[in-house]
Amino acid sequence: MILRQKLKYLRKQRGMSQLEIAEKLKVSRQAVSGWEAGSSKPSTENLQCMSKLYSVSLEYLLDDSQEFPKKKEDQGAERDIITDKSRNTKKAYILIVVGVLAFLLICFVWSSFNSDKENAKGVELGDMDGGVMPETEKEFGLTWED
């Protein structure tokens, strides 16, 4: 961006007229107009005063490769976007963790419900020999004699 564009942009960004700038720099309004139109260039002294007035470096004003400085509102908006992205990422992680925990809870409840059903079915009484396992009968010498 070239000097004339920067001067016009910086003046408008501060909401000032060419006449106000001229009064602050102690030059004519036509001089400011000529700088912004590109028909004339400000002196080194005027460039130094404008860099202080606009709170930019002299290097910024003279270097045509540098773009407009970002407005404070734009920088805040970028921060807000970054903050929103990090918040959304945190929300996504929280939702994933809650989802996994809910899944595990459902699995636990389902398995305990099914194991209760199997226990409720139980073993038929006819399948048991008096409630003592056959190995135990032999160990203790218990027999069922008719």
Residues 56, 23, 67: CA angle, nearest 5 degrees: 25
CATH fold of 3-62: 434 Repressor (Amino-terminal Domain) (1.10.260)
Which tokens in the block code for residue 11?
């003046």
- What average pLDDT does this structure show over 4-11? 91
- 96-106 pLDDT, tens per residue? 999 999 999 99
| For the chain, domain boundaries | 3-62, 70-125
Mention every residue, 6+ apart, whose C-beta is less than 8 A from residue 40: 31, 34
- Cβ(25)–Cβ(32) under 8 Å? yes
- Cβ(35)–Cβ(41) under 8 Å? yes
Threshold 0.75, pTM exceeds:
no
**Burial of residue 23, with CB atoms counted within 10 A of its CB: 0-12 exposed, 13-18 middle, 19 or more buried:** middle
- Cβ(16)–Cβ(7) under 8 Å? no
Under the banding of pLDDT at 50, 70 and 90, the label for residue 63 is: confident
Is the pLDDT reported for residue 41 higher than 70?
yes
Write down the pLDDT at residue 72: 54
Is the pLDDT reported for residue 73 higher than 60?
no
Using CA atoms, how far residue 121 sits from 71, 112, 125, 127, in Å, is 75, 14, 11, 13
- Cβ(1)–Cβ(67) under 8 Å? yes
According to DSSP, residue 33 is labeled H
According to DSSP, residue 38 is labeled T
Is the pLDDT reported for residue 130 higher than 60?
no
